[in-house]
A = this chain, B = another copy of it.
Amino acid sequence: MRCRRCGDKAVLKIPRHNTAVCVACLNHYVLEQVKRAIHDHKMFDPGDRILVAVSGGKDSLSLWDVLMRLGYETAGLHIQQGIGHYSEESHRKTAAFARSRAVELIVHSLQEEEGAGVLELAELTNRSACSACGVMKRYNFNRIAHDRGFDVLATGHNLDDEASRLLGNILRWQEDYLAKQAPALSATHEKLVKKVKPLYRLAEREITAYAVVNSIDYVIEECPMSVGSKMLVNKEVLNRLEADAPGTKHAFYFGFLERQKAEDLSGADEKIQSCARCGQPTTAAVCSYCRILEKVKTAP
């Protein structure tokens, strides 16, 4: 198999684009797709300071790597969830990545800052681990990015993530979530920071290949809490459809974005206010974060 761009030995087939690429052209392809994502959705400008949410997995570390290669000013933010060996490995690999590139890494430990890890927070509040983790991540991502003066928060969501999330939302027609599912969400409150997903044009296996050929040392293990999650079932199902008809995920998610653009679903009608306790943006009177923390404080 030869690279369709330069004729060298190919390392990756990309069936949905009917092409194959060598190592150099894979890097070119990934960088071009990210540049196009940034441009098409006006994600950020050259002077902006970007906070990259890094879990230690292939997606977030590759995103950070790409943004640095493209010359952007970045720092990383890692949330320590406190899920045993998985979280320790994630922190270790994230820190090693930052050190090797001499870039700033902000580490936020739930155990130290909130007084409890994700599993304990979930138990105290009768939520699933994924739900408690989601609240902690969204809250801290936004607050830290805002307080430290970053212009934008970037996450490593890829095409597979977005397509499977879209499938989940459409199977149950969750209009509110559909309206908010976009590669870039602008700041609709003074304490909200803009959120962007520069990898949305790239499939999971393309990013894995990028991480491997660039020797990015990432955590391979999946989060042990994600076993049996709806997200994984939706991904499995989309992989089955993709195998049957390459390009299905792409057509599904990009077709949705086209429709969204035509209908101008900006989600601007959502009422965002300040939390009565912490002052952070929320759609409720008291935000989910504060309601979870209340339980920690009153725990026996």
- Kindly identify which residue among B173, B236, B237 contacts A256, using a CB–CB cutoff of 8 Å: B173
Would you list which residues of chain A between 167 and 213 have a CB under 8 Å from chain B?
170-173
Distance between Cα atoms of A206 and B240 in the complex (Å): 26
Distance between Cα atoms of A230 and B244 in the complex (Å): 8
Copies of this chain, whole number: 2
Whether A134 sits at the interface, judged by CB under 8 Å, is no
Whether A245 sits at the interface, judged by CB under 8 Å, is yes
Among A105-113, A247-255, A281-289, the stretch in contact with B: A247-255
Whether A259 sits at the interface, judged by CB under 8 Å, is yes
Across-interface contacts of A251 in B (CB, < 8 A) = 171-173
Whether A268 sits at the interface, judged by CB under 8 Å, is no
Across-interface contacts of A172 in B (CB, < 8 A) = 248, 251-252, 255
Decide: A248 and B173 in contact? CB cutoff 8 A: no
Would you list which residues of chain A between 217 and 252 have a CB under 8 Å from chain B?
230, 233-234, 236-237, 240-241, 244-245, 248, 251-252
Whether A258 sits at the interface, judged by CB under 8 Å, is yes
With both chains docked as a complex, state the minimum distance between the C-beta of A235 and any C-beta of chain B, in angstroms.
12
Known: A171-B251, A173-B256. A240 touches B241 (CB 8 A): no
Interface size class of A (residues with CB under 8 A): 20 to 34
Decide: A240 and B248 in contact? CB cutoff 8 A: no
Decide: B233 and A171 in contact? CB cutoff 8 A: no
With both chains docked as a complex, state the minimum distance between the C-beta of A179 and any C-beta of chain B, in angstroms.
13
With both chains docked as a complex, state the minimum distance between the C-beta of A160 and any C-beta of chain B, in angstroms.
14
Decide: B244 and A240 in contact? CB cutoff 8 A: no
Across-interface contacts of A240 in B (CB, < 8 A) = 233, 236-237, 240
Distance between Cα atoms of A236 and B237 in the complex (Å): 9
With both chains docked as a complex, state the minimum distance between the C-beta of A242 and any C-beta of chain B, in angstroms.
10
Distance between Cα atoms of A131 and B67 in the complex (Å): 48
Decide: B248 and A241 in contact? CB cutoff 8 A: no
Query: Which residue of chain B has its CB nearest to the CB of A252?
Result: B171
Decide: B252 and A241 in contact? CB cutoff 8 A: no
- Kindly identify which residue among B171, B237, B241, B258 contacts A173, using a CB–CB cutoff of 8 Å: B258
- Kindly identify which residue among B234, B241, B255 contacts A233, using a CB–CB cutoff of 8 Å: B241
Decide: A171 and B241 in contact? CB cutoff 8 A: yes
With both chains docked as a complex, state the minimum distance between the C-beta of A252 and any C-beta of chain B, in angstroms.
5
Across-interface contacts of A245 in B (CB, < 8 A) = 230
Distance between Cα atoms of A248 and B170 in the complex (Å): 11
Distance between Cα atoms of A244 and B236 in the complex (Å): 12
Query: Which residue of chain B has its CB nearest to the CB of A228?
Result: B244
With both chains docked as a complex, state the minimum distance between the C-beta of A253 and any C-beta of chain B, in angstroms.
10
- Kindly identify which residue among B236, B248, B258 contacts A171, using a CB–CB cutoff of 8 Å: B248
Query: Which residue of chain B has its CB nearest to the CB of A172?
Result: B251
Could you give 11 example pairs across A and B, Cβ below 8 Å?
A: A171-B241, A172-B248, A172-B251, A172-B255, A173-B255, A173-B258, A173-B259, A233-B240, A233-B241, A237-B237, A240-B240
